[in-house]
Structure 1
Amino acid sequence: MRSTFRRFSLLLALSTAALTAAQAQQKLKYPKQQADQIYDAVAKPAVPAGGLQAYANYLEKNQQYPTAALQAGRDGTVEVSFVVEKSGSVSNVVAKTPLDPALDAEAIRLIKAGPKWTPAENKGAKVRQRITIPISFRLPLGAGGPAPATGMNDESQPEKKDGPTIVKAEQPARPVGGTDAFFEWIQKNQRYPALARKKNIQGKVLVEFMVQKDGSLTDVKLVKRLGAGLDEEALRLIKAAPKWEPATYKGEPVKQKMVLPVLFTLL
């Protein structure tokens, strides 16, 4: 009798274990969609509250050049990567391309202390998106270099008799009709390369160009590539883009270098 009871108990335990294992396998086989997924490219990207120009103004106004970097004569650009959460706040802020400990820390501080963003959307729902922004540090005059500028506005060059001098523009260059209108033009005129579409390649190409005193865009070149024909299409779009309102210095138009992303998204 006891032997029969033990066999029954053992069979019951084995059956329970088998059921638990089957349930575990079923859970592994059919995982739930991760609500915390981070996207690099989405249908509707995240944008700073108030627009890109207001964000550039914030970066310029609040940048504090570290004393140690000034004394050492260090300058350059720090690419800062961060995640725009569904709430519009930022998280996971890191220096993607470290330059100098003091400059890296200041670039991270700027992003963390910045205004909220309008979160990204994908398939009609708010999602988390990874953003990368270049923040440039330029040594002030008297410290061995030009005045500081933000990562979106690199340099302005009023011409002098003895050659160009780099200064800080009083009014930065901007697209005619605003930044939103410029990116709408980009999306409307974009031709997605067949090779990139076939390979399911999407993301952003960073393009650098000069806004001339007449508002034309020249000296277009790539800063960050994607390949599969996307780089060439980004160059074509910027070269064919409408004129901008040029930067001004002391009321006069000056040349200004810009860096902007061209986003490619497969819908």
Structure 2
Amino acid sequence: MKPHALALLLLATAPALAQKPVKLKYKADDPKTVYDAVEQPAVPKGGPQAYAEYLASHQKYPTAAMQAKQEGTVLVTFVVERSGSVGEVEVKQPVAPLLDAEAIRVVKAGPKWTPAHNHGQLVRQRVTLPVSFVLAEGSGETVEVPAAGSTKPGAPLPPGAVAAAPGTTSVVGTTASGTNIIRPEKSAQPVGGNAAFFAWIAANQKYPDLARKRHIQAKVPVEFVVQPDGSLTDVRVVQKHGSGLDEEAVRLIKAAPKWEPAMYQGKPIKQKMALPVIFQL
């Protein structure tokens, strides 16, 4: 190789040999972007175990779902915002309307999360979480628990069951947090039977104008208490449908004929019940 050619080669390679390592620069993330996978995922404050304990202690098993023997795992998706708050909560894998609604409620009411990080920046992340509903043996009925100091003997409790507070009316069954397992000798029922009761509902129903105009049909689940004298009180809609249907369902139950009360050790007791009020055009 000629001397001048070697000199040119050295000059050409010298800058490359002397070059310093280059730091990679990432483009700033769009604050509106929601990521599924990130370098550092979002985690509940206090850790997964603390969040699991929150779900177990704050979950309220819907009474109507218990009585219908509904259970399963609801997959819920939501977005952990850069502030750590939870938003855009929705059901990804539904199980039953009442359980789905409760899963959404308990997630929305939960504690903040530690937000996700990607490329050293706070980002929004979508999280999928299972919320499980598990019934214990004997779940589904509701009765009054004898008051403290009562001489009435209580029914034997299944393994792992926890009795409710004395003098209250509770759902028969138990969840992670525990409810009572005492059974009535005879459950409350409409005078004349269910067929007569639903016939009365159909005959006295006033279909809301707004629902009729919108062509809305629905089964509105209503919860109420049958008192020892057979009257129906504490009426509430478990899952609202709007368009006047909820108000009409409550009116119908409040105006309905008395029931035959539940019986426990030969005496009438109050019992919580749930049934659907059907609206069909």
TM-score for the superposition, normalised by structure 1: 0.46
**Richer in helix (by share):** 1
TM-score for the superposition, normalised by structure 2: 0.44
Structure whose CA Rg is larger: 2
